């Protein structure tokens, strides 16, 4: 919000007289709303079928091989491959 208000003032659209009070109020509201967010938990089920995971893993490997073939920056396949449970 501070960056937006800085931009508005620099471009001389208008000047916010009570900007500090407004920013303080916004921060307080954001902090209060954080109390209602649930903690992030991993899903209790697998989103994809085994066939979809096999196909996805093959596509990831093919993309990685293509990048390697043309000497382009590689990514860590372990970050993307799905394992079967």
Read off the pLDDT of residues 28-55 as tens digits, 9 standing for 90 and up.
Answer: 888 888 777 778 888 888 889 999 999 9
| For residue 1, pLDDT beyond 80 | no
Average pLDDT over residues 5-12: 81
Spell out the domain ranges in the chain. 2-34, 42-85
pLDDT band of residue 85 (cuts 50, 70, 90) is low
* HEC-encoded secondary structure of the chain: CHHHHHHHHHCCCCCCCCHHHHHHHHHHHHHHHHCCCCCCCCCCCCCCCHHHHHHHHHHHHHHHHHHHHCCCCCCCHHHCCCCCC
For residues 77 and 15, which has the higher predicted lDDT (pLDDT)?
Answer: 77
Token pair of 54 as six digits: 């096999």
């Amino acid at each position: 919000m501070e960056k937006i208000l800085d931009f508005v003032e620099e471009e001389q659209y208008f000047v916010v007289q009570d900007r500090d009070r407004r920013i303080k109020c916004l921060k307080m509201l954001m902090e209060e709303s954080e109390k209602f967010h649930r903690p992030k938990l991993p899903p209790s089920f697998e989103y994809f079928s085994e066939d979809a995971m096999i196909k996805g893993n093959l596509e990831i490997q093919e993309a990685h091989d293509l990048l390697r073939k043309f000497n382009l920056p590689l990514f860590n396949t372990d970050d993307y491959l799905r394992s079967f449970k």
